[in-house]
Amino acid sequence: MLEGKTVVLGIAGSIAAYKAADLASKLTQAGVGVEVVMTEAATRFITPLTLSSITGRPVVTGMWQPASEFSIEHVSLAEAADVVVIAPATADIIAKLASGIADDILTCTVLATRAPVIIAPAMNDNMYRNPVTQENLSRLKARGFVIIEPGYGRLASGKTGTGRLAEVDRIIDAIRQVLQRKSDLAGRQIVVTAGGTREPIDPVRYIGNRSSGKMGYALAGVARERGAKVTLVTAASLPSPAEVEVIAVETALQMKRAVTRAVKGADALIMAAAVADYRPEEVARAKIKKSSRLNLELVATPDILAEIEGGFIKVGFAAESEDVIANARKKLEAKGLDLIVANDITQKDSGFGADSNKVTIIDKNGKIEDLPLMTKREVADRVLDRVAGILGKR
């Protein structure tokens, strides 16, 4: 798993920087090409010479090397990385990454990479618990960074608390998991839908819903990172995930046409979109004038998931506010699904618009997997674990 891979090891300025030497050594012995990038502060705690002696490679420490080298360094390291690991990561570097600041070689490399990024924080426990640090870590987590929680124990201050760099073996386990995860959907084709459809009433108004598209975009991004070829049919307008084919639609009918085309040859269709069940029968050509009453005749839209057939795995989502499991099960059966992901939208920080979600995954054999509140990317990972599991058995 590790042999032949390239790990960019970022070291920030913490007393725990000396442990990065052990990490670099174990990775090098496992056959990993370790490219070390150090912040200026890190070089005060451990010398680049120590790291380059361990890895057998030059260590990158600054932005202001000659132009030719610089242009190679931050972009080429970012592109060469199978995974970027920052260990130890200080509160400062975490804050910079959360805000997209790129004022040194390490932050530039992270901003330029498409590889997964693992962050192993190490700092004083008050700094770690500070709401701003926790908020920054949550933002990074929501964007797909893997955070390895620091351990509890004696800190540099002499006090005991949470903030010790995680054990080196735990960091290596996380690298293994990320590398493994990266390729389990390689060669697979997955279609994802996202967002709430908008059914026009007139040139100005529409019937819509509260779906932001975040759940579907998380699924599309994570599926791509795990190696799948992904088509995202979306009624939302969030920034596109890297290397995903995006097809923008507005209405349920447009979504049906786009999905029907996209699923040809697909291995799975995952519908996180909130598709309108009704649309106005007539769309007024001109803006409807204000009056004391307006009657709209609505007709049912096609049920895309129920109607589509083709031998691929069908995954539905159900946003429920009562009898969550029973209602989701009914939808799973009625639409002939392999899996349904039931969201309990009454839960705080869950469902429409939130960055996190509380879901239960139900399969067609009745098996129920109740998950705790987690980020939408983590939910995406768990749903894709199940899809990969079904595909593996076929």
* Nearest distance from C-beta of residue 258 to ligand PMT, angstroms: 12
Determine which one of 209, 327, 357, 365 is catalytic. 209
* Nearest distance from C-beta of residue 337 to ligand PMT, angstroms: 8
Q: Which is nearer to ligand PMT, 44 or 261 (CB)?
A: 261
Q: Which is nearer to ligand PMT, 90 or 301 (CB)?
A: 301
Q: Which is nearer to ligand PMT, 229 or 256 (CB)?
A: 256
* Nearest distance from C-beta of residue 18 to ligand PMT, angstroms: 43
* Nearest distance from C-beta of residue 170 to ligand PMT, angstroms: 31
* Nearest distance from C-beta of residue 252 to ligand PMT, angstroms: 5
* Nearest distance from C-beta of residue 126 to ligand PMT, angstroms: 34
Q: Which is nearer to ligand PMT, 90 or 193 (CB)?
A: 193
Residues within the interface to ligand PMT (CB under 6 A): 211-215, 252, 271-275, 277, 301, 303-305, 316-319, 331, 343, 351-353
Q: Which is nearer to ligand PMT, 48 or 208 (CB)?
A: 208
Please give, one letter per residue, the 3-state secondary structure of the chain. Answer: CCCCCEEEEEECCCHHHHHHHHHHHHHHHCCCEEEEEECCCHHHHCCHHHHHHHHCCCCECCCCCCHHHHHHHHHHHHHHCCEEEEEEECHHHHHHHHHCCCCCHHHHHHHHCCCCEEEEECCCHHHHHCHHHHHHHHHHHHCCCEECCCEEEECCCCCEEEEECCCHHHHHHHHHHHHHHHCCCCCCEEEEEECECCEECCCCCEECCCCCCHHHHHHHHHHHHCCCEEEEEECCCCCCCCCCEEEECCCHHHHHHHHHHHCCCCCEEEECCECCCEEECCCCCCCCCCCCCCCCCEEECCCHHHHCCCCCEEEEEEEECCCHHHHHHHHHHHCCCCEEEEEECCCCCCCCCCCEECEEEEECCCCEEECCCEEHHHHHHHHHHHHHHHHHHC
126 catalytic, yes or no?
A: no
Q: Which is nearer to ligand PMT, 232 or 274 (CB)?
A: 274
Q: Which residues are catalytic?
A: 209
